[in-house]
A and B are shown apart, each in its own frame.
Chain A
Amino acid sequence: MVVQALVLASMLLCAIQAIRSEKLLVSALWLAGCSALLGLAIALLGAPEVGVIELSVGAGLVTVIFVFAISIAGEEPASYKSLVPRPFAWVLMGAFLFLLLFLAVPRVVAPALTPQSLSIVRAIWEVRALDTLLQVTLIFCGVLGSLGLLAEPRAASSTAKGGAQ
């Protein structure tokens, strides 16, 4: 339990640093650390499959995509003045915390359902088969969308033909 608390505390620290840091690349690296620690915490909670997926996708793929995006868009100092005044942001966060506790606490203390011995393979491929199909469709849409968004304008691509792929 002490290990779990330490992992979760360092994960929160990484998240706060990812929000606070001025440079975009440093922020992406703190986010990768947060993902890795989250994967470890999930594996400690008894769901190693989700932990492995979070580690490979969250800490691996997303970080690569972030570094790629930052290298294309260019490093830009993130120190703009915020549109929302900070005290107002804190008030909104307090209201959000109140709502979260108000909604979550009655469910936390509610009695647990009867445990089901459902394996994760059955849960994914049989119980939630339609959702899995929709996930595949979503990945396909994401690939098509990012290709469409990242494509060069037509005039520029005809001059630079052969350079890229």
Chain B
Amino acid sequence: MSGLSVWSISLVAVIGLVMVGIYGLLILRNLIKIVVSLQVFAKGTILVMVVAGGMQGQPAVGSSLAITVIVADTVVTVIALALAIQVRRYCGTLDSRALSSLQR
């Protein structure tokens, strides 16, 4: 009973994290804030890997998948931040709308 409840609470937290990340990706325009919301989204993914492994009785596989997600997400974050710095250097702003040349 209590074990099931812990997993259920964690699943609710996963849904909350993913929704917060999606909202940020939809609403925000600052490139660094977009990377922050991508990180929030990825944290939901990490938690769901651990929860799924635990619920299915295979915690080792879930943990190793979670480690893979952490590594991949960190590399994606580093590259995205480097791209944001380059955008700031060449466009003078972090606004994602400045990347589009159609509206000017």
Which residues of A are at the interface with B, using a C-beta cutoff of 8 A? 1, 4-5, 8-9, 11-12, 15-16, 18-19, 24, 27-28, 31, 34-35, 38, 41-42, 45-47, 49-50, 53-54, 57-58, 61-62, 65-66, 69-70, 72-74, 76, 78, 80-84, 86, 89, 92-93, 96-97, 100-101, 104, 108, 112-116, 118-120, 122-124, 127-128, 131, 135, 138-139, 141-142, 145-146, 149-150
Given pairs A28-B36, A78-B33, 5 additional interface contacts (CB within 8 A): A62-B39, A96-B22, A115-B58, A116-B58, A150-B85
- Known contacts A73-B88, A97-B15; A50 and B67 CB within 8 A of each other: yes
- SS of B interface (majority): helix
A-B contact pairs, 5 of them (CB 8 A): A19-B33, A24-B30, A27-B33, A113-B57, A123-B61
Closest residue of B by beta carbon distance from A72: B85
